[in-house]
Structure 1
Amino acid sequence: MKIALGQKFTSFLLRSGWALAVAATVATSPVPATAQDGAEARIRKLEAEVRALQRATFPGGDGRYFEPQITSGSPGAAQAQPAATTTTAVTDILVRLDALELQLQRLTALSEENTNSISQIQSRLALLEASPAAGASLSDTIDPSPSLSTQTNLDAMTGGSSATTEAEQTLTQPSEPEQSAASGPSAERLAAVQQITKPQTGDAADDEYSYGFRLWNAGFYPEARQQLTSFIDQYPDHWRVTWGRNLLGRAFLDDNMPEEAARWFLRNYQADRTAPRAPDSLLYLSESMMAMDDTRRACIALAEFGETYPAVASGRLLDQYEANRRKITCEG
């Protein structure tokens, strides 16, 4: 009986020890995962409430107090950034378009002004080329006054006022040496002259001048003088008359008749200083005076040419002007 009770007690102790061991094991085992998740959630909630409190206390989202909830890598930032960029780009494009429109308006205005100015210049040039009288009326604005008196120089070239009057009377009817009937042109010369055809352009006056030019260019100086004299007498107001008088003087000068040539050159220059061939006549006048060994008047003509026509003297007639100056020595 005692043995049986001892065995039961021993068995009870063994069972109790086992239970205590199990309880100790359970007491010292780690906290379950469910309890850890709950603590983590509570911590996150507290951190969120602190951040909310910080935003209310420090408005503006200063990074010194809390981190922004939306960062550059988050989806929300990727959606919010393009809106601001698009607005800035559109505004910049509109500003640039306004600037371009303003520049186009200015360029258009300048283009219209330039076109109008060019049209006026072309009209004035056409008027000057078509009408010598109109060119004379504009001489005060387009032709600078020479520093040396023109009339004084012309008086010096013609020997004073009385000589000028005599020269003008002589120039009214220039002398032309007449060929004697006995020594008329040969048949060969007449045949050669007939080979020079007169142009037929519809402008009779211009055709007369052009025919005289062709005769002069071919070396038929007497025939050219006769043709050009007829042209000047028939069409004294034609725009080609300044070319005709100048070429008539050259027909005399090339035929070794410098005195007659000088009269025509002087007449053409005095008729209209703004005429297209007035500078040429003044320069050829100096050559005529040199051919007559009149250095003083040749120097006066050269000086007058350089002062009255500086643009032509340094441009179209520069070579001839420099060549004439090298032929003589002028004082001053």
Structure 2
Amino acid sequence: MIAKFKAPFTIGRAAICAGLIAVAVPAPAAAQVDNRLQRIEAEIRALQRAVFPGGDERFFEPEITPQQQQQGQTATPQVATSALTDVLARLDAIEQQLARLTAATEVNENALSTLERRVIELEARAVAANPGNTSATQASTGNGSTGVIPVPGEDETVEIAVEEDETEAPAGPTDERLAAVQAIAKPATGDAGDDEYVYGFRLWDAGFYPEAQQQLALYLDSYPEHWRRSYGRNLLGRAFLDAGEPRAAATHFLENYNSDPTGIRAPHSLLYLAESMIALGDTRRACTALAVFGDEYPALAAGELLDQYSGLNGRVDCE
């Protein structure tokens, strides 16, 4: 567990310090120190509200106490000091404690972000290593989900479960369909991986969705590190979505986002994931996917993908 600290500083103590200053020092200096006290007090209160909402001293031991401040000070010869010097020394100690608390908070946030990214990467690798092992996938997610999507502004993650689509095996293609598929030329540019992807794209573009699914799956299996892999996973999901299989499509869209959130087609996959969830009547998970897209890709949400994003938002009622 990552340690958290609370730095209490009450209005009463600030008022007492301000009163002492007003008596012991001239008005301009008293006003300056009083302003510093009020500023530090406001910063500490704001930081406490952000880090420890509803904090209670029964659960969080105070970081700043008079005893700790005295112990932390270096022993110096007893000299006569003015009230202003004493107050300034206390302010310096408070500012040091505030800096420590702020640094600890930043370390905690960075550590949590790193752990979250690591969990997503490990789940994506497990799915990629065992694409057909549904029991292993269920064990890693608890309910058959292929991954998790963090929901902005919430403390927990929402799992988007994608169940296996149990359908009967389709009948074999007709001679006419075989001839039409064979008429689609496979490119030969010298980049074997790119040729496989482009051939799958041509099959999808021609409306041969089952053939495109098979070709794109072959491409991803044969060239897992190819530069078009983000395109391939996204297009494979679209081949299922366009074929009227939104549940299978959602599996590939979610895998594309989880495998590489920075991939060129990861944001597109989130939008198509939302569309798949809408087709399945799952408004909650559709809203989750849209919320993540808007939070992580604001430039695309306001630019290139604005029309698709706005259209999907208009199809669901997200609170």
Please report the TM-score for the alignment, with normalisation by the length of structure 1.
0.48
Structure 1 pair 245–192 and aligned structure 2 pair: CA distance change class (3 A): same
Q: What corresponds to 2:305 in structure 1?
A: 317
Q: Which residue, out of 212, 231, 235, partners 2:219? A: 231
Q: What corresponds to 2:146 in structure 1?
A: 167
- Structure 2: distance between partners of 1:176 and 1:216: 23
Q: What corresponds to 2:258 in structure 1?
A: 270
Structure 1 pair 262–206 and aligned structure 2 pair: CA distance change class (3 A): same
Q: Where do 1:9-158 residues align within 5 Å?
A: none
- Structure 1: distance between partners of 2:281 and 2:139: 19
Structure 1 pair 150–257 and aligned structure 2 pair: CA distance change class (3 A): farther
Q: What corresponds to 1:187 in structure 2?
A: 175
Gaps of 5+ in 1: 1-144
Deviation at 1:268, TM superposition (A): 0.3
Structure 1 residues 278-323: Cα deviation after superposition (integer angstroms, max 9, x where no partner): 0000111000000000000000100100000001111111100000
- Structure 1: distance between partners of 2:138 and 2:166: 23
Contact 2:213 2:240 in 1 (8 A): yes
- Structure 1: distance between partners of 2:218 and 2:168: 15
In structure 2, the residue corresponding to 1:167 is in which secondary structure? strand
Q: What corresponds to 2:234 in structure 1?
A: 246
Deviation at 1:163, TM superposition (A): 3.8
Structure 1 residues 37-86: Cα deviation after superposition (integer angstroms, max 9, x where no partner): xxxxxxxxxxxxxxxxxxxxxxxxxxxxxxxxxxxxxxxxxxxxxxxxxx
- Structure 2: distance between partners of 1:160 and 1:286: 25
Deviation at 1:262, TM superposition (A): 0.4
In structure 2, the residue corresponding to 1:239 is in which secondary structure? coil
- Structure 2: distance between partners of 1:326 and 1:229: 33
Structure 1 pair 164–283 and aligned structure 2 pair: CA distance change class (3 A): farther
Structure 1 pair 185–257 and aligned structure 2 pair: CA distance change class (3 A): same
Alpha-carbon RMSD: 3.4
Structure 1 residues 163-211: Cα deviation after superposition (integer angstroms, max 9, x where no partner): 476526xx9xx8896745xx31000000110111001111000000000
Q: What corresponds to 2:296 in structure 1?
A: 308
How many percent of aligned residue pairs carry the same amino acid? 57
Structure 1 pair 242–219 and aligned structure 2 pair: CA distance change class (3 A): same
Structure 1 pair 320–231 and aligned structure 2 pair: CA distance change class (3 A): same
- Structure 2: distance between partners of 1:263 and 1:301: 13
Counterpart of 1:320 in structure 2: which amino acid? Q
- Structure 2: distance between partners of 1:324 and 1:151: 30
Structure 1 pair 204–268 and aligned structure 2 pair: CA distance change class (3 A): same
- Structure 2: distance between partners of 1:319 and 1:276: 18
Q: Which residue, out of 192, 210, 220, partners 1:222? A: 210
- Structure 1: distance between partners of 2:282 and 2:139: 16
Contact 1:211 1:227 in 2 (8 A): yes
Q: What corresponds to 2:190 in structure 1?
A: 202
Q: What corresponds to 1:291 in structure 2?
A: 279
In structure 2, the residue corresponding to 1:327 is in which secondary structure? coil
Contact 1:253 1:261 in 2 (8 A): yes
Gaps of 5+ in 2: 1-111, 124-136, 148-160
Q: Which has the higher helix share?
A: 1
Structure 1 pair 152–317 and aligned structure 2 pair: CA distance change class (3 A): farther
- Structure 2: distance between partners of 1:192 and 1:217: 13
Contact 1:150 1:304 in 2 (8 A): no
- Structure 2: distance between partners of 1:207 and 1:215: 12
Please tell me whether residue 259 in structure 1 is matched to residue 247 in structure 2: yes
- Structure 2: distance between partners of 1:326 and 1:284: 15
Please report the TM-score for the alignment, with normalisation by the length of structure 2.
0.50
Please identify the structure whose Cα radius of gyration is greater. 1
Deviation at 1:159, TM superposition (A): 11
Counterpart of 1:298 in structure 2: which amino acid? A
In structure 1, the residue corresponding to 2:262 is in which secondary structure? coil
Please tell me whether residue 328 in structure 1 is matched to residue 316 in structure 2: yes
After superposing on structure 2, the runs of 4+ consecutive aligned residues of structure 1 that deviate more than 2 Å are 149-153, 158-168, 174-180
Contact 2:146 2:254 in 1 (8 A): no
- Structure 2: distance between partners of 1:244 and 1:293: 26
